Amino acid sequence: MKRRVNVIGVGMTKFVKPGTSPEYYEMAREAGTLALKDAGVPYAAVEQAFAGYVYGDSTCGQRAVYELGLTGIPVVNVNNNCSTGSSALFLARQAIEGGLAECVIALGFEKMGKGALGNKFDDRESPMGQHFQVMVDEQGFGSSPPAAQMFGGAGREYRWKYGTKKETFGMISVKARKHASNNPYALFGQVLSLEEIMASDEVFDPLTRFQCCPPTCGAGAAILCSDEFAARHGIKNPVYIAAQSMTTDFASSFGEKSMIKMIGYDMTKSAADQVYEAAGIGPEDVDVVELHDCFTANELLTYEGLGLCPEGGAEKFIWDEDNTYGGKVVTNPSGGLLSKGHPLGATGLAQCTELVWQLRGTADKRQVEGARVALQHNLGLGGACVVTLYRRD
């Protein structure tokens, strides 16, 4: 019988630019220590650790976790590209749900270099790389960074299909900057106008520079436990994971001449559908969402993949401001990857942290009033998508 999994402690560092951060294990220590303090349990109570990062040596997880203590517990190193943090969370949840442990930590961190995202997906030997090369050859994308070509290409495809205005994509960055201005952990806190976003350097049509997430350094952590562990430690009414799903690529990712499919739309839709079915609710019941806005084009597509609006309805959803406070569902109150930043291994756990704060009612100026149901979406090309539904009764 599956057990309920609670998130009893979360913590994260402030996200910063490459070249300005402490060492990865120092950031990991800060996030992990904050999560343990938040949970109110000692590190000695933790039975397993899942450590996520993309750039680093094979046992960086041990180096990071050892900053919290040397107790001999299993430490599993996790790398699933941009969905690494949520992949660590997925494994931690399974350990508790399956009865293999009572208390575990998921820890994600990244110390990135400048331009690190530029060539991350440029693997011509992989199925994705081969399919991408075919698209490049047929459509003549040029010399922009591969990730921008992929997600920008998906934005173009959407525009060709629905006649979407370029400014619609820019409005997503306007929202992201506005939300991030209330987040002390975010990399970018300066509010920008639509005109400023559209006037920034073009990276790959329809994307401008301020519509692309920046390489970032940071760490995040979450402490998960069973109901029995929570009861023994006097933890009442915790946030819990109501449902979670991980998907990888389907044949449609590479079998169709579609950038939208290639960047994970079907992974997103399938994972979301599984989560809604398992939780017994629908997208209309969700109060707040942290989704993978590595580029504005991906946020727009993810609205539809998660069922927040109908297919082809994202433009109206954006201009009606149904994606922000006062609308249907607040998306990325943290500022998202676009403005909070995107340290690959930490992103999924930073999303978790924000949503736990939201459901506890402790998100300060970012608080979504009355939030009880939260949805998390974390995507990594190559590929993996993790969708997690949190609740607090």
Active site residue 385: no
Q: What crossing angle do the helices spanning 84-97 and 344-360 adopt, rounded to 10°?
A: 60
The structure tokens 């924000």 sit at 354
What's the CA gap between 77 and 322, in Å, rounded?
A: 38
What's the CA gap between 312 and 154, in Å, rounded?
A: 14
What's the CA gap between 369 and 77, in Å, rounded?
A: 37
CB 314 within 8 A of CB 300: yes
According to DSSP, residue 56 is labeled: S
Residue 259, token pair as written in the block: 């950038």
**Catalytic option among 82, 103, 225, 294:** 82
Q: Classify 344 as helix, strand or coil.
A: helix
Residue 71 CB neighbours (<10 A): 14
Distance of alpha carbon 144 from the chain centroid: 24
Residue 300, token pair as written in the block: 């727009």
Catalytic residues: 82
